[in-house]
């Protein structure tokens, strides 16, 4: 019997949610996803010591420690992590637009274009990169523009069907509906424990997957933010799943049988629902979990972005 990880690979594209070069080399995912938390953690390892030194040296040539320079150096470091991953995986690497731009469509578009240009300078073309944007209305509208320019997007911090519908309307390349954070909210809210089959995060992704397949929507569904292997097994067959190295290792050691749970051949009817800004905001507002977790996620990523820029400021001052 092959491991559950190998069985999963036969029905789902496996993506690693990490900046750990050793883990990516060992586990051989197709794609990698990053975020400010992952980038900050990766830059603290010896693997990226030279990249930090190069970025700080470059920053010193940009005349000082202004906010613009700090942001530019932080971007350079995030690209360094992404480029290292792109040199290992055969597929895509997701790089995130600054969380503090989550409600600014034009600034998000400009930042995304800059990220793509920075990768190109390193010989990495846009077809190897996914631009990550928060699934706010403004982030989705930014993605809609970027997609028309051939810049594929990964809409993250997605907790509701309303967000998924808006992303489909915008024809985004991929969405990352979160599982574990939804479970966290419901466990705290209800005080109950959940099985893999009753897990609200699992149910949410299954509903979004069904809606997309029932309506011929080509946007890729990539489940994300897992708390345990049971959640992953409950979504076996989803288009893609982005998984931490620890859970990938757990699945690799498990020789049990993995049953396919999602398939485009087993879909129930779910009528197409176009959505405009007014209905999007109302539907999101009516979903307390999605509203709270979206705001919390943006704050968390913004906090780590500030930590990265603070690290850059200290390094520039010491150089």
3-state secondary structure the chain: CCCHHHHHHCCCEEEEECCCHHHHHHHCCCEEECCHHHHHHHHCCHHHHHHHHHHHHHHHCCCCCCHHHHHHHHHHHHHHHHHHHHCCCCCCEEEECCHHHCCCHHHHHHHHHHHHHHHHHCCCCHHHEEEEEECCHHHHHHHHHHHHCCCCEEEEEECCHHHHHHHHHCCCCEEEEECHHHHHHHHHHHCCCCCCCCCHHHHHHHHHHHHHHHCCCCCEEEEECCCCHHHHHCCCCCCEEEECHHHHHHHHHCCCCCCCCCCCCCCCCCCCCCCCHHHHHHHHHHCHHHHHHHHHHHHHHHHHHHHHHHHHHHHHHHC
Q: pLDDT averaged over the chain?
A: 96
Looking at the DSSP assignment, which residues form a beta bridge with residue 177? 158
319 band by pLDDT with thresholds 50, 70 and 90 = confident
Query: Tokens 């077809």, residue?
Result: 127
Q: Where are the domains of the chain?
A: 4-318
Using a 10 angstrom Cβ sphere, with 0-12 exposed, 13-18 middle and 19 or more buried, the burial of residue 113 is: middle
Using a 10 angstrom Cβ sphere, with 0-12 exposed, 13-18 middle and 19 or more buried, the burial of residue 288 is: exposed
- pLDDT (tens digit, 9 = 90+) per residue, 156-206? 999 999 999 999 999 999 999 999 999 999 999 999 999 999 999 999 999
- pLDDT (tens digit, 9 = 90+) per residue, 83-96? 999 999 999 999 99
**132, 161, 213, 293: the active-site residue:** 132
Give the count of alpha carbons within 13 A of 316, CB side only.
Answer: 23
Residue 231 pLDDT exceeds 70: yes
Task: Report the pLDDT value the prediction gives residue 165, as an integer from 0 to 100.
Answer: 98
- pLDDT (tens digit, 9 = 90+) per residue, 32-51? 999 989 999 999 999 999 99
Residue 293 bears catalytic tag: no
Residue 307 pLDDT exceeds 80: yes
Task: Report the pLDDT value the prediction gives residue 1, as an integer from 0 to 100.
Answer: 74
Residues in the chain: 319
65 band by pLDDT with thresholds 50, 70 and 90 = low
4-318 CATH pick, 3.20.20.140, 3.40.50.2300, 3.40.50.1820, 3.20.20.70: 3.20.20.70
How many angstroms separate the CA atoms of 138 and 157, rounded? 13
175: left (phi over 0), alpha (psi -120 to 50) or beta: beta
């Amino acid at each position: 019997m092959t491991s559950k990880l190998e069985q999963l690979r036969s029905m789902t594209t496996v993506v690693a949610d990490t900046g750990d070069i050793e883990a990516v080399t060992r586990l051989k995912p197709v794609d990698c996803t990053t975020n400010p938390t992952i980038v900050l953690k990766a830059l603290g390892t010896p693997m990226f010591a030279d990249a930090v030194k190069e970025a700080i040296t470059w920053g010193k040539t940009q005349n000082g420690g202004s906010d613009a320079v700090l942001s530019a150096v932080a971007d350079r470091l995030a690209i360094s992590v992404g480029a290292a991953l792109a040199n290992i995986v055969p597929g895509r690497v997701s790089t995130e637009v600054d969380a503090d731009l989550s409600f600014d469509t034009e600034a998000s578009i400009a930042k995304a274009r800059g990220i793509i240009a920075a990768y190109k300078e390193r010989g990495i073309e846009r077809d190897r990169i996914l631009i990550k944007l928060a699934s706010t209305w403004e982030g989705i509208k930014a993605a809609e523009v970027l997609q028309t320019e051939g810049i594929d997007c990964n809409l993250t911090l997605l907790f509701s069907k309303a967000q998924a519908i808006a992303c489909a309307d915008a024809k985004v390349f991929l969405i990352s509906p979160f599982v574990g954070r939804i479970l966290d909210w419901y466990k705290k809210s209800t005080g109950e424990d959940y099985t893999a089959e009753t897990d609200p995060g699992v149910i949410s992704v299954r509903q979004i997957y069904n809606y997309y397949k029932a309506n011929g929507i080509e946007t890729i569904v990539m489940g994300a933010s897992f708390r345990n292997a049971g959640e992953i097994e409950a979504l076996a067959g989803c288009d893609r799943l982005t998984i931490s190295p620890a859970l990938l290792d757990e699945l690799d050691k498990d020789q049990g049988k993995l049953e396919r749970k999602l398939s485009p051949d087993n879909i129930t009817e779910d009528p197409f629902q176009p959505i405009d800004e007014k209905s999007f905001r109302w539907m999101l507002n009516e979903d307390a979990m999605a509203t709270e977790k979206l705001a919390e996620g943006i704050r968390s990523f913004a906090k780590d972005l500030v930590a990265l820029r603070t690290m850059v400021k200290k390094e520039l001052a010491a150089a």
